[in-house]
Amino acid sequence: MKLSIILTVVTALLFGTVATASAGTASGTTALLGTPVSGASVDVDVSVVSGAPVVPYVYSLQNECYFSGKTSGPPDAYQRDDIVNWNFSSPPNIPHAIMPVNLLPVPKDSVCKVSIVKDNTVVKGSVTKYTVQ
């Protein structure tokens, strides 16, 4: 009886580990599609590559701006929006989305960084730093 319970537990742990490992780690990119100008907005092209399906509301676009010009401490302006409308490009079929970043309250010469976030963790390779014009 004890042996069958132990085998059941071991089997459940093994299958749980395989499912978690097969999901893999995501990587992503962000690219500004225009000049970031104070008092305006700029579009950002985001893309994610993952072993798990890329679906709406799992990833978010995060933008942090620092008015002092140094990216330390809490940001002076913060934006975080769920990515909902993914477009799938022709092969290799990488999911992309175009997201606006609002720079209305951000003064000229501020330093900002835009990234993709999943579960409050920045996705590897997705940080782009820029200076507001």
Q: Regarding predicted confidence, which is higher, 107 or 1?
A: 107
Pull the structure tokens for residue 36. 């970031």
Structural domain boundaries of the chain?
26-131
Is 28:124 a contact under the CB 8 Å cutoff?
A: yes
Contacts of 94 (CB under 8 A, 6+ apart): 47, 48, 49, 88
Could you tell me which CATH number the domain at 26-131 has? 2.60.40.10
Q: Quick one: pLDDT at residue 2?
A: 56
**CA 113 to CA 71: how far, in whole Å?**
8
Is this structure's pTM higher than 0.85?
Answer: no
Q: In the predicted model, is pLDDT for residue 12 greater than 80?
A: no
Q: Quick one: pLDDT at residue 91?
A: 73
At residue 24 the predicted structure's pLDDT band, cuts being 50, 70 and 90, is low
Q: Regarding predicted confidence, which is higher, 119 or 19?
A: 119
**CA 40 to CA 27: how far, in whole Å?**
29
Q: In the predicted model, is pLDDT for residue 7 greater than 70?
A: no
- Per-residue model confidence as pLDDT tens digits over 90-130: 778 899 999 999 999 999 999 999 999 999 999 999 999 99
Pull the structure tokens for residue 99. 């997201």
